Chains A and B, each alone.
Chain A
Amino acid sequence: MDRIPILQMGQFLLVTIQVDMHDQLAMTLQDDLSERISATSARGVLIDISALDMVDSFIGRMISTISGLSRIMDAETVVVGLQPAVAITLVELGLTLPGVSTALNVERGMKLLRERVAAQ
């Protein structure tokens, strides 16, 4: 079964979603990520979804869940690279991803994570 790789970069975890997300894959990612946060005691998670051109309500909820569970495990989550069409779809679906931090690209996302962690 295919998995989405989770890369470690210092005290941050980097997740790049490059395939179409189906529900099982999303669930696996959620489990893997929580395991890795606990194993590496990461301070931040960066999820890059710039390659996704379709996000449904399930994936939207998964992003919210990941953000919530990593906050409990003391890691900040930043989602980067939402496509304009995806953003519009999410708004039309009424999913505003409350509590999820977003950034335009990976560079900005990393900057945001560092600032957040330094502030703590």
Chain B
Amino acid sequence: MAALGQHAVSKVKNAESQLVQEWIAALEASGGTRNVKGDELKADTREFLQLITSSLENGAGTAIGAAQWEDTRQFLERLSRNRAQMGQDSSQTANFIFALKGPFFALLQKEFASEPQLLAEQLLQASELFDALGLHTIRTYQASREAVIRRQQEELLELSTPVVKLWDGVLALPMIGTLDSQRTQVVMESLLQRIVDTGSEIAIIDITGVPTVDTLVAQHLLKTVTAIRLMGADCIISGVRPQIAQTIVHLGLDLQGVVTKANLADALALAMRRLGVTFTKAQ
């Protein structure tokens, strides 16, 4: 497929500053410049136009996978990443490319007014090129958004499993939310590591915040308890609500001699007794 004619490319190059102006105006009209600083926008548009023209001058076609488009692709990837972090949505980001279409077509129309056939061909080429570039932008935008979401999920996972030290030798892990295998893994790792670091003898897992306990959750809990025992520490499960106790019995789950307590206070009292710590009320 023929690329944009060199004639057209040189025209674009000559009219660069005018194109940029019209482009920015179009961007502003479409609301795509929200949160973007004026200078930044100007620099971005100018750089992009220069990249396009230089690629076209090198004889690049409309297939943007080609090596000549490498710089442009990288520029767009950087741009969409920035936009994704700024919190712009996908249409605003893609608009960056599509807003150039209007001024670009107007220029072509003006230049090739006398040759309708050539004009139509050039317009088709330009249209294909912009569509491809726009799609590439959206693809990268989506990928960076997904990366942001993944990172947030991981952070949430870390946040939701704090290991707290209740007493010298007693650790507690208040669990909140559903227990799945991935979370159990994170919980197990952080709890076991803390047991080693602090040399604690007793770990209390508080499941007050766990909405339901089914066979899978019970299995995960048992795994954690077994791992803690293997390390040479002891484990108490606290916060077993009446409904959960009923479910466990109804399901016929065997907690294999795991010590369970109704609430954290009872568990702590038991831990203290095991450590040989006694409290007396001051008179």
Contact = CB atoms under 8 A, between A and B. Distances in A.
Contacts of B185: 88
B127 to A, nearest CB: 56
B231 interface: yes
Contacts of B229: 96, 102
B232 A103 contact: yes
A104 B127 CA distance: 69
Given A87-B227, A87-B230, A104 B192 contact: no
Most buried by A among B195, B199, B231: B231
B114 to A, nearest CB: 76
Contacts of A102: 229-232
B188 interface: yes
Contacts of B232: 79-80, 82, 101-105, 108-109
Contacts of A87: 192, 227-228, 230-231
A92 B223 CA distance: 8
Interface residues of B, number: 19
A88 B199 contact: no
Contact of A88 (B189, B195, B200): B189
Interface in B222-239: 223, 226-233
A104 B201 contact: yes
Contacts of A80: 232
A104 B230 contact: no
A97 B199 contact: no
Contacts of A88: 185, 188-189, 192, 227
Contacts of A104: 195-196, 199-201, 231-233
A17 interface: no
B91 interface: no
A118 B113 CA distance: 105
A84 B189 CA distance: 7
A91 interface: yes
Contacts of A84: 188-189, 192-193, 195-196, 227, 231
A54 interface: no
B226 A96 contact: yes
A97 B196 contact: no
Interface string A41-78: 00000000000000000000000000000000000000
Contacts of A6: none
B230 A90 contact: yes
Contacts of A79: 232
B195 A97 contact: no
A79 B233 CA distance: 12
Contacts of B193: 84
Given A84-B189, A88-B189, A91-B223, A105 B230 contact: no
Interface string A92-112: 100011000111110011000
Interface string B198-237: 0111000000000000000000000100111111110000
11 contacts: A87-B228, A87-B231, A88-B188, A88-B189, A90-B230, A96-B229, A101-B232, A104-B199, A104-B231, A104-B233, A108-B201
Interface of B: 185, 188-189, 192-193, 195-196, 199-201, 223, 226-233
Interface of A: 79-80, 82-88, 90-92, 96-97, 101-105, 108-109
The 7 closest A-B pairs by CB, nearest first: A84-B192, A102-B232, A103-B232, A87-B227, A87-B230, A104-B232, A91-B227
